[in-house]
Structure 1
Amino acid sequence: MQTGFAPSNNMPRRHSSLLRATAFAAVALLVYSPFSNSQTKPAPVEPAQLKIDSAKIVSPVSPMLYGMMTEEINHAFDGGLYAELLQNHTFRRSWMGIEHWDLVRNGNAAAELSSDEHSGPSKALPYSMKIQVTSASDGAEAGVTTAGYWGIPLKPHTTYKGSFYAKVDSDAPITAKLINDKSGASAGEAKIDLKSGDWARYEYTITTGQIVASTANHLVLTVARPGTIWLQAASLMPPTFHNTPNGNRIDLMEKMADLHPKFLRLPGGNYLEGDRLEDWYNWKETIGPIVDRPGHQAPWSYYSSDGLGLLEFLEWCEDLKIEPILAIYAGYALGGKHIEAGKNMEPFVQAALDEIEYVTGDSSTKWGAERAKDGHPAPFPLHYIEIGNEDWLDKSGSYDSRYPQFAHAIRKAYPQYKLIATTPVKTDHPEEQPDVIDDHYYKPPAEMMDFVHHYDNAPRNGPKIFVGEWASMSGSPTPNFGSALGDAAWMTSMERNSDLIILSAYAPLLVNINPGGMQWSPDLIGYDGLESYGSPSFYAQSLFAAHLGDGTPESSISGAQERFFYSATVGSSDHVLHLKFVNASTIEQPLTLDVAGIKASGEATVISLHAASFEATNSMSDPKQIVPHTITRPVGSAPWKHTVPPLTIQIVDVPLH
């Protein structure tokens, strides 16, 4: 996640709220001012002349152009995509106690809750939550309760899978109940018989009945007799996408599938580095059973459970039938410190080589065998490896020595992969030159529209470009239609320059809209515990990715308004000319289209995304205010007329010979 709005704007992350406030004020002046005279009828506009020769392909379109970037921000993983419903499920303690867990003492039960720092089920979790019950009986139970992340979301007739590690000093049944906050009624319960002895894992299921879907629920674990119980690594999982164990939320995965992505950049952004050197994404601590994952401090203020670890990232890609772009840690922390290249960096270079082997190695390799032991014998596909993240933030210049050390080792072991650098690298050795440079852009919509020619005349003889993070910055928690127009304008530029820009990903992808859930706005997809919605920018990106050819035809336009943007691509397999029109003006844009190579008479599909103002948007209460609408219209080989309404993003698919 970039800290400014463009690579040249490298201010500290702590000032990002001030930057956004200033940028939004600029948006109000530069973009929204046309509405001040909205009652004045605009003068007629002469048609712009758009000429396209669909048979003359001037440059290729990257088949990997549109993908996704993710990181642990806005409760994107814990409390978001990762389906786990229990917050602080490993019972980490702060000065406030065991956060998000409370003692239960029904009736006249007597019990104490504490953290035992000397007893736990694994090396990763050597501590536990200790419940000492001195008095309890039927109707006067004692135990613990949690409301998860802003309440536990429950749906009717749904099975929830629970588990925990426990140790008890004597045999005892424990009852798990899901209870409605308002009524106090049980939505379902299960009894689990705990056996005295060493640590053991216990499982249970609870199936709800005819309840009203709600997030206003909590989990209670209680006993009805005296004794001491130690608990660790608790879990409560709803049904997951494709029923993947320890998997992801169904609705969020479905929305990501609707984006038609080709890749996922993982683990992504600042999450790779952390604020301190000790907070780096140590992937080896994110694999294997949950009980063997200690978690780590993430850079956006809260702790990451690492329940969504490296294998879950890769299975996320597999579930969506896309491939990973693997970002490896390269020795820099957001606080400004770095590891010196050379001997001190060698363990991290080896960790990167091991990580690549875990992803791609067969089961005869050391780390391929570990992946098979974790439940996935088959290797995952991989073509791109990114070394570090936003290393232009490193003012020491150490990336010029850190990057080559990784590049040399990776190219020697894995010469088949393309390497992505996060900033231009100064090196005289050809084998250390990156194949791709990762550029990031966060701009107000007006600036994004003015930026569309940035790559038009860029050199084509150097590394390719990955626009690894980008967004038009207007709207909260998700983009408004002004941002969608800025995004769409920028996407026409990326399509036009896709011989150079081979990869791109909007960021951030996800946001939990509950109070305290968001650290950055705007974000593409919003959600609470039960539901989710796509922003106007979500629909714009879905349309652009779904209607993309593999070649850019020769084209020219004259007489168009300043804030009218277009792109044209041709599909060699579907024989369709995919036109994208973006009218960010408050007046319509008439066109005369002269298109060579289309049928003498045919029918085009026209898909429009429109809003009445820049501020119009979607929300949890009105998720479908702005959605695409489809019509068909006749087209022919002779020049034909077409009008793009004001404030409209439009796809026109024209059949070819």
Structure 2
Amino acid sequence: MPHVSAWKRFRHVPVLLPALALASFGVGQTPQPATLSIDVDKPLHSVSPTLYGLMTEEINYSYDGGLYAEMVKNRTLRDGDWSQQDWLVMQNASAGAKFDQDKSTGPSEALNDSMKLTVTSASPSEPAGVRNMGYWGYPLRPNTTYHASIYAKTDASDLALHWNLVSNKTGRSVASAEVPAIGSDWKQYKVTLHTGAIEASEAYHLELTVTKPATLWFDLVSVFPPTYHDRENGNRVDMMEMLAGMHPAFLRFPGGNYLEGDHIKERYDWKKTIGPQVDRPTHPSPWNYHSSDGLGLLEFLEWCEDLHMKGVLAVYGGYSMKQEHVEPGKDLEPYVQDALDEIEYATGSTDTKWGAQRAKDGHPKPFDVPFVEVGNEDFFDRSGSYDGRFKQFYEAIKAKYPNIQIIATTPVKSVKPDVVDDHFYLSAEKYFDDVHHYDNTDRNGPKIFMGEYATMEGSPTGDFGAALGDAAWLTGVERNSDVVIMSSYAPLLVNVHPGGMQWHPDLIGYTGLSVYGSPSYYVLSLFAGNVGNEVPESSLSGAGPRIAYSVTTNKATGKVYLKIVNGAPTPQAIEIDLKGVGHVGSTAKVERLHAMSPVDTNTINDPKHIVPVASTLPVAGDNVKYTLGGYTFELIEFDTK
């Protein structure tokens, strides 16, 4: 595991409240009833409308080989191991071919090199060319159209380029297309490939072949399946649907370590990620694989648009993870201006320089980006420069965009940030012990963005014990949602193929054809999808130390949402006293997550092993008696209207 992972695993551990002794019950014993009092008529504070959202970065093949739907691996030949791993020459008995990287020619200034395929002999019966194996194969589905393209040129006349998607098992083509004639100058060529009644599988690959001697130069090879909302250069449908199921209010992008890079020259340089794909030079990511930058700044913003999320734009703050930083003052000015340009690209009208560029790139309408975060995890910067760097960014951004809320990645003294980003990676036990962490937070200080958190149990995705820990922690977040205004789990995504994971646990796992949510995924979905707009006065007495809860209400609808978690194996009897209500429906809706063991979990082969089960709870008046099972999270919705 890279050293970066070790940094993240032990970072920013909070000062814990004194641990409570765990109650012990014998088999068959039932603890004394606890009392939960809820006074609906006494709201304490409102609930932040942006409380639950998504954090994303390029890790675990989250974009390339994951959400970003491109199927060709190393499509621009920029990965260091391209000649050994991704592109292989193919030739028959009488066909001769070789390929090399040609650094003297390419389709653009950004992509100024290419693959050179030299074919010395070939025929229609014995073609020659190259093979691409994709990201753990090509995930093909039956009766589906795939859109493909390539930049190419040749020294031969009337050279046809044949495309085939081929079964690894049979060697037979399952979809084919042809470019009739490649020209002598760099040009993009597009084809479509349509599968028939094939088996849905990842055991396919791409072949590009010619049938006569020639030299062919090519670059930026692309094959796309259908995408979410049919966006060109878009995202996987199934994964976007999973993310939509989390009811996210915001997206924090582009990360994360991915924002910073290992070195300053490897940072997320947004200006190199916009415009046509052929004008994007790509760059190394900090998780030891290359980023295509196909999912660039505009694509992140369109991701927000597609899921109706607000943008939390992270701008490079002058620090990279190998302890390289830019000193505040004159040296930092170009980076500050770059951030101002980036905000203008996202939010500016078309009569601004960068707003006009966004319109040229295909999106005239500005995006909703009310938050900007300066840097990422700058508490790791041993130079102590963040205070000065943040002040310089803060003053420049506020001067031009006074309504944007600016987020600091660690506490600073030079200016008062609007929001401070907290990161926590703890065990379930520590999360249960610390559910009151935000209860005494200074309400006059900066607001809190809990930008990264996860219970560190389970792999590749979290187990049920992790889900209980996450649920317990979120009850404290929700109860304090006047000061904690945003929260997002991290990492969000993981490719579960061998070699696809750099960090665990993760929230959502996938292969090329399948995607599943961890138990924590369903916890987060229930929290975000069932939340009121006020936190009422409430109290819990007589419960065991591994019981945690939160309550929100919506007076307009009369809904009362109770989230309650039992992290112990023994059940807990509870009496719920609803005060301040004139009417309570005869039944309450219940969504229940339960497992017999905290190490039980969902997997790619058993994706729905632990999912919410709907039921009802009888209600007779404003006093409800029931028993919360062991190892259980429940959402209870009362109707008081």
**Which residue of structure 1 aligns with residue 500 of structure 2?**
517
What is the distance in 2 between the residues matched to 1:489 and 1:579? Answer: 13
Of 381, 388, 397, 1:401 maps to 388
Contact between 1:93 and 1:99, CA under 8 Å: does it hold in 2? no
What is the distance in 1 between the residues matched to 2:9 and 2:490? Answer: 19
Q: Does 1:142 align with 2:128?
A: yes
What is the distance in 2 between the residues matched to 1:168 and 1:123? Answer: 19
Identify the range of structure 1 (593-602 vs 139-148) with the bigger mean alpha-carbon deviation.
Answer: 593-602
**Which residue of structure 2 aligns with residue 444 of structure 1?**
427
Instruction: Look up the SS of the partner of 1:144 in the other structure.
Output: strand
Q: How many residues align?
A: 632
What is the distance in 2 between the residues matched to 1:323 and 1:638? Answer: 38
Q: Does 1:650 align with 2:637?
A: no
Compute the displacement of 1:639 (Å). 1.7
Of 4, 14, 38, 1:13 maps to 4
Point out where structure 2 has 5 or more consecutive residues left out of the alignment.
14-18
* Structure-2 change in CA distance of 1:358 and 1:239 (3 Å): same
Task: Output the amino acid matched with 1:461.
Answer: N
What is the distance in 2 between the residues matched to 1:251 and 1:93? Answer: 27
Of 168, 172, 187, 1:181 maps to 168
Instruction: Look up the SS of the partner of 2:36 in the other structure.
Output: strand
**Which residue of structure 2 aligns with residue 64 of structure 1?**
50
Q: CA RMSD in A?
A: 1.9
**Which residue of structure 2 aligns with residue 562 of structure 1?**
545
* Structure-2 change in CA distance of 1:445 and 1:600 (3 Å): closer
What is the distance in 1 between the residues matched to 2:8 and 2:46? Answer: 39
What is the distance in 2 between the residues matched to 1:91 and 1:564? Answer: 53
Compute the displacement of 1:93 (Å). 5.7
**Which residue of structure 2 aligns with residue 282 of structure 1?**
269
**Which residue of structure 2 aligns with residue 153 of structure 1?**
139
**Which residue of structure 2 aligns with residue 506 of structure 1?**
489
Instruction: Look up the SS of the partner of 1:78 in the other structure.
Output: helix
Compute the displacement of 1:108 (Å). 1.1
What is the distance in 2 between the residues matched to 1:109 and 1:230? Answer: 18
TM-score, structure 2 normalization: 0.96
* Structure-2 change in CA distance of 1:589 and 1:361 (3 Å): same
Compute the displacement of 1:95 (Å). 6.2
Task: Output the amino acid matched with 2:187.
Answer: A
Contact between 2:78 and 2:282, CA under 8 Å: does it hold in 1? no
**Which residue of structure 2 aligns with residue 6 of structure 1?**
none
**Which residue of structure 2 aligns with residue 52 of structure 1?**
38
**Which residue of structure 2 aligns with residue 9 of structure 1?**
none
What is the distance in 1 between the residues matched to 2:8 and 2:443? Answer: 36
Compute the displacement of 1:14 (Å). 5.6
Instruction: Look up the SS of the partner of 1:498 in the other structure.
Output: coil
Contact between 2:584 and 2:640, CA under 8 Å: does it hold in 1? no
Task: Output the amino acid matched with 2:397.
Answer: I
What is the distance in 2 between the residues matched to 1:319 and 1:309? Answer: 15
Compute the displacement of 1:574 (Å). 2.2
Percent identity between the aligned chains? 52
What is the distance in 1 between the residues matched to 2:436 and 2:94? Answer: 73
Q: Deviations over 1:532-565 (max 9, x none)?
A: 1010000010001111011011111110111001
What is the distance in 2 between the residues matched to 1:95 and 1:354? Answer: 35
Contact between 2:558 and 2:639, CA under 8 Å: does it hold in 1? yes
Of 628, 641, 657, 2:612 maps to 628
Of 129, 132, 137, 2:118 maps to 132
**Which residue of structure 1 aligns with residue 353 of structure 2?**
366
Contact between 2:585 and 2:639, CA under 8 Å: does it hold in 1? no
Contact between 1:437 and 1:465, CA under 8 Å: does it hold in 2? yes
* Structure-2 change in CA distance of 1:18 and 1:351 (3 Å): closer
Q: Does 1:535 align with 2:521?
A: no
What is the distance in 2 between the residues matched to 1:92 and 1:459? Answer: 49
Q: Deviations over 1:479-517 (max 9, x none)?
A: 000000000000100001111100000000000000110
**Which residue of structure 2 aligns with residue 460 of structure 1?**
443
Compute the displacement of 1:169 (Å). 1.2
What is the distance in 2 between the residues matched to 1:221 and 1:556? Answer: 67
Task: Output the amino acid matched with 1:230.
Answer: W
Task: Output the amino acid matched with 1:267.
Answer: P
Task: Output the amino acid matched with 2:564.
Answer: F
Compute the displacement of 1:19 (Å). 6.3
Identify the range of structure 1 (474-483 vs 360-369) with the bigger mean alpha-carbon deviation.
Answer: 360-369
**Which residue of structure 1 aligns with residue 80 of structure 2?**
94
**Which residue of structure 2 aligns with residue 84 of structure 1?**
70
Q: Does 1:341 align with 2:325?
A: no
Q: Deviations over 1:579-611 (max 9, x none)?
A: 001011111111111102342543210110000
Q: Deviations over 1:396-445 (max 9, x none)?
A: 11001101111111011111111100011121xxxx42100000000011
Task: Output the amino acid matched with 1:507.
Answer: A
Identify the range of structure 1 (105-114 vs 606-615) with the bigger mean alpha-carbon deviation.
Answer: 105-114
Q: Does 1:123 align with 2:109?
A: yes
Task: Output the amino acid matched with 2:626.
Answer: H
Q: Deviations over 1:225-257 (max 9, x none)?
A: 111110011100000001011000011100000
What is the distance in 1 between the residues matched to 2:154 and 2:265? Answer: 35
**Which residue of structure 2 aligns with residue 604 of structure 1?**
588
What is the distance in 2 between the residues matched to 1:14 and 1:479? Answer: 17
Of 154, 168, 189, 1:202 maps to 189
Of 454, 457, 474, 1:471 maps to 454
**Which residue of structure 2 aligns with residue 27 of structure 1?**
none
**Which residue of structure 2 aligns with residue 551 of structure 1?**
534
**Which residue of structure 1 aligns with residue 16 of structure 2?**
none
**Which residue of structure 2 aligns with residue 614 of structure 1?**
598
Compute the displacement of 1:16 (Å). 5.6
Compute the displacement of 1:97 (Å). 2.6
**Which residue of structure 2 aligns with residue 219 of structure 1?**
206
Task: Output the amino acid matched with 1:639.
Answer: N
Q: Deviations over 1:269-293 (max 9, x none)?
A: 1000001111111000000111000
What is the distance in 1 between the residues matched to 2:584 and 2:428? Answer: 39
Contact between 1:358 and 1:370, CA under 8 Å: does it hold in 2? yes
**Which residue of structure 2 aligns with residue 583 of structure 1?**
566
What is the distance in 1 between the residues matched to 2:99 and 2:623? Answer: 78
Of 145, 148, 151, 1:162 maps to 148
Compute the displacement of 1:18 (Å). 8.8
Q: Does 1:190 align with 2:173?
A: no
Task: Output the amino acid matched with 2:257.
Answer: N
**Which residue of structure 2 aligns with residue 392 of structure 1?**
379
Q: Does 1:261 align with 2:248?
A: yes
Task: Output the amino acid matched with 2:401.
Answer: Y
Task: Output the amino acid matched with 1:262.
Answer: A
What is the distance in 2 between the residues matched to 1:277 and 1:595? Answer: 56
Compute the displacement of 1:331 (Å). 0.4
Q: Deviations over 1:198-229 (max 9, x none)?
A: 10000000110000000010000000011111
What is the distance in 2 between the residues matched to 1:271 and 1:84? Answer: 19
Identify the range of structure 1 (591-600 vs 396-405) with the bigger mean alpha-carbon deviation.
Answer: 591-600
Q: Does 1:310 align with 2:297?
A: yes
Point out where structure 1 has 5 or more consecutive residues left out of the alignment.
4-11, 24-29
Contact between 1:577 and 1:654, CA under 8 Å: does it hold in 2? yes
What is the distance in 1 between the residues matched to 2:434 and 2:629? Answer: 23
**Which residue of structure 2 aligns with residue 329 of structure 1?**
316
Q: Does 1:350 align with 2:331?
A: no
What is the distance in 2 between the residues matched to 1:465 and 1:638? Answer: 35
Compute the displacement of 1:612 (Å). 0.6
Contact between 1:92 and 1:99, CA under 8 Å: does it hold in 2? no
Task: Output the amino acid matched with 1:166.
Answer: A
Compute the displacement of 1:395 (Å). 1.7
**Which residue of structure 2 aligns with residue 235 of structure 1?**
222
Of 556, 564, 575, 1:573 maps to 556
What is the distance in 1 between the residues matched to 2:233 and 2:300? Answer: 11
